[in-house]
A and B are shown apart, each in its own frame.
Chain A
Amino acid sequence: MAIKPKLSERAAERNMAELEPAYRPQEATVEADRCLYCFDAPCIHSCPTGIDIPGFIKKIANDNVTGAARTILRANVLGASCARVCPTEVLCEGACVLLDRDETPIKIGRLQRYATDHAYESALPLLHAPAKKSGKRVAIIGGGPAGLSCAAELAQLGHEAVIYERHQKAGGLNTYGIAYYKMKPAVALAEVRLVQSLGVEILTGTEVGKDVPGDEILNCYDAVFLAIGLGATYSLGIPGEDLPGVVEALAFIEELRMNPLDEVAVGDHVAVIGCGNTAIDAATQAKRLGANRVTIVYRRGPEDMPAFEYEYELAKTDGVEFLFHTQPVEVLGSKAGGLEGLRMVRTEPDANGRPQNVAGSEFDVPFDMVIKALGQQKLGDVIAKIFPGITIDKRGSIERDFATGITKHGSIYAGGDAANGGSEVVDAVAEGKRAAAAMHASFTGEAPEKLVQTTRLGTPDGATGAGIDKPVRVVELERAFRAGEASNG
């Protein structure tokens, strides 16, 4: 057993190819033509960035793909990555009215990809920053989706935005942390260039609080947007965790995104600890890169896993094995200092449903690689030291007003994972956009123009065009609907 690259370049590229290939033109128009062009459509309500989805799909059907891309990118500057990584099943596609007619929603994500691919391939300038500048300057801490979105929105509203990014490349998890078969790094980097083309300056390799003090930032800018994301993976807190061969899931994914696939080392039998979407990403990619066996170890049962249902299905299809109700208690090392496996115990839920270790149930399984995917630590305490005046909630996230992103410090706004605790790329984009709109309002006293479909009677606050607070879990909705039907008799 050894951790080493397993596959040839060709085999690795084939295994890691995108799950859903790009539409050919006629595929796209045939699919687009299925769209009913709903008025005040549920898919728009279910998109945190409020993209006019029926509008852009109608444009694809009408052979106006450039216009479709314009509609998407104006609402969501990271439309190309969202097209690939959004959990559309629980967002727009989960709200598609066709589910209730013939059970096949419009493939909104793939159509969005078709339109945005066209925009990047044609290199048409679809977004513009006005020539007349407001003179207002905003520092954006973190160049991930929230930061890029906020910067792009500010630039389009005539304000100057400067992004401070501690990594060598901007894009955040879109660049470093998305499963390769969902999106290649080049897509994320092209989006970074689109944001730069609006005049946004990105200072990479620059860590605020280390390379630049927080007070200097506050002195030099009219507002600050904190979009610092999350920190390192939580540790297991068990003996042997420092052994070679124990890696963080995000480090593993970053390695495979930043290096040729045939140079990425994986073990023969890989354990992945945790069962969120990142755990699934790590497990399926380890398998696709040639690991003989991959086992996900989770202390609760399948019904409790944070991963989306279709991610679980994907892992099973890829041959990933699952050890549920199991908790690692020790990483076992060999005398030579190598990794031999995991000692684990069975768990049982207590009266509150919390898993408790079952005494005497220890068992050992040999592994030569252990990937930790226990979720990322919150950076609230770290950032609060750099920017005194903001407040941190009890979960460690930056406290801010949901609608505007403003923190207790009146010039500092926050969004993305650092504020919402860890959510989808599209949520980060929406929060960046909302914060930019709030800053614009504070700078100018004017609200930015909203892209909404109006009705004579108006629509409920917050929904249309503005996006909703959290993803619509279709399963939950259906359950609620059925329960409602049952109680209504």
Chain B
Amino acid sequence: MADLSINFAGIRSPNPFWVASGPPANTGYQANRAFEAGWGGVVWKTIGEPIVNTASRYSAMHLGNTRIAGFNNIELISDRAPETNFDEIAEVKRRWPDRVVVASLMTDTRENWHDYMKRSTDCGSDAVELNFGCPHGMCERGMGSAVGQNPEVIETIVGWVMEVAEIPVIVKLTPNITSVKHAARAAKNAGADAISLINTINSITQVNLETFAPEPLVDGRSTHGGYCGPAVKPIALNMLHECAADPGFDLPISGIGGIGNWRDAAEFLALGSTSLQVCTAIMHYGFRIVEDMKEGLSDYLDAQGFSSVNDMIGRAVPNVGDWQNLNLNYKRVARIDYNKCIGCNLCYVACEDGAHQCIDLIDPAGYGLGPGRVPEKFIPQVREVDCVGCNLCSLVCPVDNCIDMVELKSEKQPMSWKEYQQRVADGDMDPIPAHP
């Protein structure tokens, strides 16, 4: 069995799965339940001056039979007194010395940051996470994403924190920014030990078409909320990679955003996360989901021959880079497996109307009855000579492995756009003719 334990900026955790700062990490009671279920760590719901919340706080985007493809909240930081939170952290750490508890913090002045840092350390927190990401409510008061969107302010506040830091400091970044790299670099410049990302994304999930008020509804009105859940995973992975691949940026990263199962977790690890934080999936299904995450990740690591989770961290990072370095001479085409094709023709209409018109509907004569159950019904066939290898047909195909994207061996040497530009400029080759 592979070793799931990690060392994140000096913090040892029995596994990489942490409960993210949010409603599931609001109390000592919940932290206890999380640890009983097997979570490696809990990042406490953000501690600060207690706030007042609204009734109606969450909304969601459902997609067909899938409930909560995306999730939105307008809840603020902890509405409990800081001393209550710090006392409960101390109690939880006493009961679970081998697990990680991170105090998430949000405040304003230098004095207040110093005060919260000291109290976090005194209560036994393993680390602190500075909440520079919350995109609703707190940002209107100059905190949360209002800090995270300004690298200079990040650098200033992290600097204040580092003046008194005795435990590792993690900076949680907002995705509501043009390039997250600048925010990450600012955190590093100021001496932070690690970053975590992403916080939630500004969003409105839906509008009630009778009252014309968006959800979550607060007395006839709503506000821009923070978006999370499965739908944000691609955005989180992108920002994770941006930081992990940034030359010279070597801080450990705690990945957050749409992680719901072991496969999501493995993808975050491959793109450079060391620890993983989960919130929405817990809000949907409860703490019990960690069992499958740990088991699935462990079995995957065993199957791949990795002895430790650390062996796979960042493995995919070098395989993503600028478009200009991709090989223009690489060719792949779609191939339909007629033993699997069920005759839905979704590939045909997608290619015909939505892509490059290189699938024909042909007479199935010669294929016996052909796919599907109605004789004489035409079946899809890829015109390989025209196929641009875009993947669309294989993405819409509802049958696993029915449409394979097959690599065609090219006699041409690999050539990137950058090289192509150079060769044309040098007169070594003619420009590639435009597509008809």
A97 touches B368 (CB 8 A): no
Q: A457-B361, A460-B378 are in contact. Are A100 and B372 (CB under 8 A)?
A: yes
B contact face: mostly helix, strand, loop, or mixed:
loop
B369 near A38 with CB under 8 A, answer no
Q: Given A40-B361, A100-B342: A481 and B369 within 8 A (CB)?
A: yes
How far in angstroms is the closest Cβ of chain A from B367? Answer: 9
Q: Is the Cβ of B345 less than 8 Å from the Cβ of A474?
A: no
Q: Is B349's CB within 8 Å of the partner chain A?
A: yes
Distance from B398 Cβ to chain A, minimum over Cβ atoms (Å): 5
Q: Which residues of A, 22-61, contact B by the 8 Å Cβ criterion? A: 29-30, 33-34, 36-42, 45-46, 61
Chain B residues numbered 2-46 whose CB sits less than 8 Å from any CB in chain A: none
From known contacts A61-B64, A457-B361, A463-B377, infer whether A101 and B352 are also in contact, taking CB-CB under 8 Å: no
Contacting A42 at CB < 8 Å: which of B343, B346, B360? B343
Contact of A40 among B64, B345, B371 (CB under 8 A): B345
B292 at the binding interface (Cβ < 8 Å): no
- Give the residue name and chain of the A residue nearest to B400 (CB): A101
A456 in contact with B65 (CB, 8 Å): no
Q: Is A480 an interface residue (CB 8 A)?
A: yes
Q: A100-B371, A477-B369, A481-B368 are contacts. A39–B377 as well, Cβ < 8 Å?
A: no
Q: Judging by beta carbons under 8 Å apart, are A460 and B372 in contact? A: no
Distance between Cα atoms of A101 and B349 in the complex (Å): 20
**Which of chain A's residues 441-489 have a Cβ closer than 8 Å to chain B?**
455-457, 459-460, 463, 468, 472, 474, 477-478, 480-481, 484-485, 488
Q: Quick check: is B287 within 8 A (CB to CB) of the other chain? A: no
Q: Does B164 contact A (CB under 8 A)?
A: no
List chain B residues, Cβ under 8 A from A455: 348, 352, 361, 378
Task: Give Cα distance in the complex from A468 to B373, angstroms.
Answer: 13
User: In this complex, what residue of A is CB-closest to B349?
Assistant: A39
What is the interface residue range for chain B against chain A?
A: 20 to 34
Contacts of B361 in A (CB 8 A): 40, 455, 457, 459
Q: Does any Cβ of A come within 8 Å of B395's Cβ?
A: no
B142 in contact (CB, < 8 A): no
Contact A474 B368 (CB under 8 A): no
Q: Are B374 and A95 in contact (CB under 8 A)?
A: yes
Contacts A97-B342, A481-B368, A485-B368 hold; do A460 and B376 have CB atoms under 8 A apart?
yes
Contact B398 A36 (CB under 8 A): yes
Give complex CA distance A61, B63 in Å: 10
In the assembled complex, which residues on chain A have CB atoms less than 8 Å from the CB atom of B346? 36-39
Q: CA of A463 to CA of B373 in the docked complex: distance in angstroms?
A: 13
- When C-beta atoms are compared, the residue in chain A nearest to B347 turns out to be A39
Give the chain A neighbours of B344 by CB distance below 8 A.
36, 38-39, 41, 97
**By the criterion CB–CB under 8 Å, are B374 and A33 in contact?**
no
- Closest residue to B378 on the A side, CB-wise? A459
Enumerate chain B residues within 8 angstroms of A126, measured Cβ to Cβ: none
Q: Are B65 and A97 in contact (CB under 8 A)?
A: no
A98 CB–B CB distance under 8 Å = yes
Q: Which B residue's beta carbon lies closest to that of A38?
A: B344
Check B375 for interface membership: any CB of A closer than 8 A: yes
Q: Please give me the residue from chain B that is nearest to A96 by CB atom.
A: B373
| Residues in B364-419 with C-beta less than 8 Å from chain A | 368-369, 371-378, 398-399
Known: A33-B65, A39-B348, A485-B368. A100 touches B343 (CB 8 A): yes
Question: Closest Cβ of chain A: how far from B341's Cβ, in Å?
Answer: 8
- A99: CB under 8 A from chain B? yes
> Is residue A245 within 8 Å, beta carbon to beta carbon, of the partner chain?
no
How many residues does chain A have at the interface if contact means C-beta atoms less than 8 Å apart?
38
Cβ contact within 8 Å between A457 and B342: no
- Bound CA span A100–B373, Å: 9
**Residue among B349, B363, B371, B373 with max Cβ neighbours from chain A (10 Å):** B373
Task: Kindly state the separation between the CA atoms of A274 and B353 in the bound complex, as whole angstroms.
Answer: 53
- CB contact between B374 and one of A61, A98, A463 (< 8 Å): that residue: A463
A462 and chain B: residue at smallest CB distance: B376
A38 touches B376 (CB 8 A): no
Task: Considering the complex, give the chain B residue whose CB is closest to the CB of A61.
Answer: B64
B65 neighbours in A (Cβ, 8 Å): 29-30, 33-34
A229 CB–B CB distance under 8 Å: no
Minimal beta-carbon separation of A455 from chain B (angstroms):
6
Give B339's nearest chain A residue, CB to CB. Answer: A485
**Chain A residues in 8 Å Cβ range of B376:** 460, 463
Q: How far is the CA of A360 from the CA of B343 in the complex (A)?
A: 56
Cβ contact of A474, chosen from B373, B377, B399, cutoff 8 A: B373
For the complex, give the distance between the alpha carbons of A101 and B346 in Å: 14
Alpha-carbon separation in the docked complex, A36 to B371 (Å): 16
Chain A residues contacting B398 (CB-CB under 8 Å) are 36, 101
Q: Beta-carbon contacts of A397-427 to B below 8 Å, as 1s and 0s?
A: 0000000000000000000000000000000
B 42-78 contacts with A by CB, 8 A: 64-65
Query: What's the Cα separation between A41 and B360 when bound, in Å?
Result: 16
Question: Assuming the A-B contacts A42-B372, A480-B369, are A457 and B343 also in contact, with contact meaning beta carbons closer than 8 angstroms in the complex?
Answer: no
Q: Is the CB of A158 closer than 8 A to any CB of chain B?
A: no
Give the distance in Å from the alpha carbon of A258 to the alpha carbon of B349 in the complex: 50
| Residues on A with beta carbons closer than 8 Å to the beta carbon of B348 | 39-40, 455
In the assembled complex, the Cα of A37 lies from the Cα of B357 at a distance in Å of 20
- CB-CB under 8 A for A98 and B342, given A61-B64, A457-B361: yes
Contacts of A172 on B, CB cut-off 8 Å? none
Minimum C-beta distance from B249 to chain A (A): 43
**Inter-subunit contact A42/B374 (CB<8 Å):** yes
Kindly list chain A residues whose C-beta atoms are within 8 Å of the C-beta of B64.
33, 61
Asked whether any CB of chain B lies closer than 8 Å to the CB of A94, the reply is yes
Smallest CB–CB gap between B127 and chain A, Å? 44
CA distance A381 to B399 in the complex (A): 54
Q: A42 — which chain B residues lie within 8 A by C-beta?
A: 343, 372-374, 377
Q: Is the CB of A39 within 8 A of B399?
A: no
- Known: A33-B64, A456-B352. Is A99-B399 also a contact (CB below 8 A)? no
A38 to B376, CA, bound (A): 16
A485's nearest neighbour on chain B, judged by CB, is B368
Contact B342 A101 (CB under 8 A): yes
Most chain A C-beta atoms within 10 Å of own C-beta, residue among B344, B357, B375 = B344
B349 touches A97 (CB 8 A): no
Contacts of A474 in B (CB 8 A): 373
8 Å CB contacts to A: which residues of B297-348?
Answer: 342-346, 348
What is the chain A residue whose CB lies nearest that of B345? Answer: A39
The chain B residue sitting closest to A37, CB to CB, is B346
Q: Give min CB distance, B389 to chain A, whole Å.
A: 21
Known interface pairs A36-B398, A41-B344, A42-B377; A97-B360 also in contact (CB < 8 Å):
no
State A460–B363 Cα separation when bound (angstroms).
9
Within 8 A of B (CB), among A142-185: none
0/1 string, B67-111, CB within 8 A of A gives 1: 000000000000000000000000000000000000000000000
> Complex formed: what's the CA distance from A474 to B374 in Å?
9
Residues of B with C-beta under 8 A to A480: 369
Residues of B within 8 A of A97 (CB): 342-344, 372-373
| Minimum Cβ distance to chain A for residue B273 (Å) | 33
On whether the beta carbons of A94 and B377 are closer than 8 Å, the reply is: no
Which of A29, A95, A459, A484 interacts with B373 by CB under 8 Å? A95
| Contact yes or no, A457 B360, CB < 8 A | yes
- Given pairs A95-B372, A460-B363, 6 additional interface contacts (CB within 8 A): A30-B65, A36-B398, A40-B377, A40-B378, A45-B374, A97-B344
6 pairs across A/B with beta carbons < 8 Å?
A: A33-B64, A39-B344, A39-B349, A42-B373, A99-B373, A463-B376
A interface with B by C-beta (< 8 Å): 29-30, 33-34, 36-42, 45-46, 61, 94-101, 455-457, 459-460, 463, 468, 472, 474, 477-478, 480-481, 484-485, 488
The 4 residue pairs across chains A and B that have the minimum distance between CB atoms: A484-B368, A39-B349, A39-B345, A97-B342
